[in-house]
Chain A
Amino acid sequence: MIFHPSTKKVSRYLDGVLSEATTRSFEAHLAKCPACRRKVEVLRSAARVCCPPKQRLEAVSQNVMARVGQADSLSYEKRWNTDAPILAEIRSVEGTVFIRNAANEKSIEAFPGCALRQGDRLEPVGGGSVAVEGENGVACLVTETADVSSLYQGAAQASRGGAGISWAAIRKQLGARSVLASSAVALTVVAVAVIVVFDPFIREQWNYQAAYLPNQRHTPEMALPSNGTVSGGLEMMYDPTNGTVSGGDIWRVKDGGAPRLAPIISCIPDIIISDADQKSADRNLFIFENALNLDELVRDDTAASLLKWSFVEPTPRGGVGWLLGSTVAVSESTTKASPSTAASKSPAPTPKTAPSASTTEKRLVIYTAQFSILVGSVADSMKDLLQKIEKWNGYVQTADLQRVTFRVPAANFNRVVEEVSQLGVVTNKQVQAQDVTRQYMDLQLRIEVAETSRKRLLALLEEADKTEDLLKIENEIRRLTEEIERLKGELRTVADQVVYSTIAVDLTAKAAEAKPARPRGGRSYFAWINQIGAEHVIRTF
């Protein structure tokens, strides 16, 4: 098979920039290949048509320069390089000068009303070709690089058409890919814009990012609009027994524009509260654990009605929220304060004593673990494990010959996990922690509310005269009692799971003595092979 040189190579040959060896091989090919000879002739004739002799260039250039005008408002460095190969006779230069980089065919810059002076050289894109567009299409092409194949092609096509050099032809050669790329980019931008505009989730995130994370990641200096409204989200709940605020959810802040989102999270450790109006974080900075301390808030909220908080560390829900300190601070007799009541003008109550951070509750976490362990003798290991469970102050929940599920005090969890891992070769280990603080507090609050309602109903029951009213009240009391008992049961379950951690251990025997651990801990590189074996067969059923 004969490989014909590309047009690019032909043009480089015509430019005389090929290496000697390549030129020799190229000429050897030309001697044998009439098609390539014809190609070279076409390009050479095109160049002859387009390129004036060097001595004509200066006169033409002067003529052109005279017509371009003398205005020189551009800051670009411009020099006219008369030594560069010229591909087109300069007929006129008026209007816009386009500059392209012939090497990558991407860069384009337009200089409307550009004035060229003799000796100017246009090189804002680091070399390349210069196309000057005038009344009759392209009037002048100057190349500073040897890679001019596309220009040669355009010139050849134009010359074959007998219409001189056509800007459209050049554009076809040079700009087709750029046009396509530009169209693709434009379409992508439009698509992204449509998605951002119409997708509510992205729009909300966008609004949130724009509103709350403008300068600093966790402590933006923003104030709640003075005439805005706050709505939505769960109620903020105040526990008068330990002076903490809990609950909360997404608040929507609206100040006449699009609603923005402010996540308000409670029971997150290390919340910094500072006075947003005074912006003196050093003086009014408090770090609390687990929850916002309402008493502290009120005590230091003498000057500002607006407090802000931010999280020391990024949290799963992260971000910054706002709290209307003077209105969320409710009297101690009230158990709830909702954001909707935040607009009320009731003054903040005076706290009795500010509890210290150490009095706040810790997070409630349920710990569970699962192990699959290869042991020498299942019976011996099981016996050993059962003895240890007693030693850990735990108890067995379920057990059979190979599998045991037991519970140990949460305080011993880490030690137990460590000791269980040493029973044999651990082939599978899963440790999970689930934070149930919010669930626990929700349950507590719902019980309190239900009990309060029941007390009220009991009071009403004593005052009721009509039989119909008595029946209705009794029914409601019965319903509330059942609800309270159910909630208390849930609360006990959660508390029990928090206090005692659950650990399941699956023991499997090895036929031979354990061999020294392999680099991958006795596991194959291939995942599916690790699922082969008697242990997995037993587990299937």
Chain B
Amino acid sequence: MSSERSESPRSIKRIARIAVIAVACLLIGVLCLRRGRAFQVATPDSFAKVKSAKSLYGALTPQEDKLVVRHFSVREKQTLVFWTDSLRNHLVEDLGYTLKEEGEFTTDASLAGHRFLFEISIGDVPYCYELVVFVKQGWFQQHIYAAELLCAKKNFEKRAPAVETALKQFRPRHGWPL
């Protein structure tokens, strides 16, 4: 009887120790998972993934239409409206892009973003440049995701639906909860 009494606290301690180790392993696992790419994006039809890094995704079509998704961590915490205004100002005023369309863009996971469509000319060839921006608040900084599609103007109508479908499935992996 006395031995049972003496072993009981030991077993409780053992269980507690195992529980602590399990929680630690779980946390480490979660952290490891979070160390992957900063976002999830599906490869659109007719595109082939050619670049994949922690903060970068790149895909190409046979005609070398380009889709790039990038992640930026910034210290300045601002709203989506602020950043879209800044982007519009920079691209139109500084780089001389011609803005054709713009509007809201929402993913299937209800992440709000903003979409721009510009026309530019590269080597006297007209190109379409589509930019979709998402903003997500982090703990200590802000996470900004920019999806850019650059393709010849004649190909844009063909590429846009597939890219839109892919971006609808876009999921950032920063912020809390996962």
Inter-subunit contact A541/B91 (CB<8 Å): no
Inter-subunit contact B123/A537 (CB<8 Å): no
Inter-subunit contact B66/A509 (CB<8 Å): no
Interface residues on A, range: 20 to 34
Interface presence of A104 (CB below 8 A): no
Inter-subunit contact A541/B60 (CB<8 Å): yes
Inter-subunit contact B98/A512 (CB<8 Å): yes
Interface presence of A46 (CB below 8 A): no
Residues of B within 8 A of A (CB): 50-51, 56, 58, 60, 64, 66, 68, 70, 72, 74, 76, 83, 86-87, 89-91, 93-98, 118-124, 127, 129, 131, 144, 146, 148, 150
Inter-subunit contact A513/B66 (CB<8 Å): no
Inter-subunit contact A510/B95 (CB<8 Å): yes
B44 to chain A, nearest CB (A): 15
- B131: chain A residues at CB < 8 Å are 532
- B50: chain A residues at CB < 8 Å are 541
Bound CA span A378–B120, Å: 12
Interface presence of A379 (CB below 8 A): yes
Bound CA span A473–B103, Å: 80
Inter-subunit contact A511/B118 (CB<8 Å): yes
With contacts A523-B94, A528-B72, A538-B150 taken as known, whether A508 is within 8 angstroms of B58 at the C-beta atoms is no
Interface presence of A533 (CB below 8 A): yes
- A510: chain B residues at CB < 8 Å are 95-96, 120-121
Within 496-524 of A, Cβ neighbours of B (below 8 Å) are at: 508-515, 518, 522-524
A534 to chain B, nearest CB (A): 5
Contact among A379, A512, A523, A537 with B96 in the assembled complex (CB-CB below 8 Å): A512
Bound CA span A534–B56, Å: 15
Bound CA span A128–B68, Å: 70
Inter-subunit contact A524/B86 (CB<8 Å): yes
Nearest A-chain residue to B64, judged by Cβ: A541
Nearest B-chain residue to A535, judged by Cβ: B95
Inter-subunit contact A541/B74 (CB<8 Å): no
- A538: chain B residues at CB < 8 Å are 66, 122, 150
Inter-subunit contact B96/A529 (CB<8 Å): no
- B129: chain A residues at CB < 8 Å are 533-534, 537
Inter-subunit contact B87/A532 (CB<8 Å): yes
Contact among B60, B120, B124, B146 with A532 in the assembled complex (CB-CB below 8 Å): B146
B73 to chain A, nearest CB (A): 8
Interface presence of A540 (CB below 8 A): yes
Bound CA span A479–B142, Å: 60
Nearest B-chain residue to A374, judged by Cβ: B95
Nearest A-chain residue to B131, judged by Cβ: A532
Residues of A within 8 A of B (CB): 374, 377-379, 401-402, 508-515, 518, 522-524, 526, 528-534, 536-538, 540-541
With contacts A529-B87, A541-B50, A541-B60 taken as known, whether A524 is within 8 angstroms of B72 at the C-beta atoms is no
Inter-subunit contact B76/A526 (CB<8 Å): yes
Bound CA span A511–B129, Å: 11
With contacts A529-B86, A537-B68, A541-B51 taken as known, whether A509 is within 8 angstroms of B94 at the C-beta atoms is no
Inter-subunit contact B90/A529 (CB<8 Å): yes
- B93: chain A residues at CB < 8 Å are 515, 518
Extra A-B contacts (14), CB below 8 Å, given A511-B97, A537-B129: A379-B123, A401-B123, A509-B124, A511-B98, A511-B121, A513-B96, A518-B94, A526-B86, A528-B72, A534-B127, A537-B150, A538-B66, A541-B58, A541-B60
- B96: chain A residues at CB < 8 Å are 374, 510-515
With contacts A377-B124, A529-B87 taken as known, whether A522 is within 8 angstroms of B94 at the C-beta atoms is yes
Nearest B-chain residue to A401, judged by Cβ: B123
- A379: chain B residues at CB < 8 Å are 123-124
B1 to chain A, nearest CB (A): 50
Inter-subunit contact B66/A537 (CB<8 Å): yes
Contact among B58, B87, B121 with A509 in the assembled complex (CB-CB below 8 Å): B121
For this complex, 21 residue pairs linking A to B, each with C-beta atoms less than 8 Å apart, are A374-B96, A377-B123, A510-B120, A511-B97, A511-B121, A512-B96, A512-B98, A514-B96, A518-B94, A526-B74, A526-B86, A528-B144, A532-B131, A533-B95, A534-B129, A537-B66, A537-B148, A537-B150, A538-B122, A540-B58, A540-B66
- B91: chain A residues at CB < 8 Å are 532-533
A382 to chain B, nearest CB (A): 9
A513 to chain B, nearest CB (A): 7
Q: Among A514, A530, A537, A538, which residue has the most Cβ atoms of chain B within 10 A?
A: A537
A508 to chain B, nearest CB (A): 7
Bound CA span A193–B95, Å: 56
Closest 6 CB pairs of A and B: A512-B96, A528-B72, A511-B120, A510-B96, A522-B94, A524-B90
Inter-subunit contact A540/B120 (CB<8 Å): no
- B124: chain A residues at CB < 8 Å are 377-379, 509
- A532: chain B residues at CB < 8 Å are 87, 90-91, 131, 146, 148
- A524: chain B residues at CB < 8 Å are 86, 89-90, 94
- B83: chain A residues at CB < 8 Å are 529
Bound CA span A531–B129, Å: 14
Bound CA span A530–B91, Å: 9
- A540: chain B residues at CB < 8 Å are 51, 56, 58, 66, 68
- B87: chain A residues at CB < 8 Å are 529, 532
Nearest A-chain residue to B89, judged by Cβ: A524
Inter-subunit contact B123/A402 (CB<8 Å): yes
Bound CA span A374–B121, Å: 12
A426 to chain B, nearest CB (A): 13
Bound CA span A537–B69, Å: 9
- A402: chain B residues at CB < 8 Å are 122-123
B101 to chain A, nearest CB (A): 15
A377 to chain B, nearest CB (A): 6
Bound CA span A530–B64, Å: 23
- A537: chain B residues at CB < 8 Å are 66, 68, 129, 148, 150
- B70: chain A residues at CB < 8 Å are 531
Nearest A-chain residue to B50, judged by Cβ: A541
A360 to chain B, nearest CB (A): 49
Bound CA span A509–B127, Å: 11
Bound CA span A315–B137, Å: 47
Bound CA span A401–B97, Å: 20
Q: Among B50, B131, B146, which residue has the most Cβ atoms of chain A within 10 A?
A: B146
Bound CA span A36–B21, Å: 52
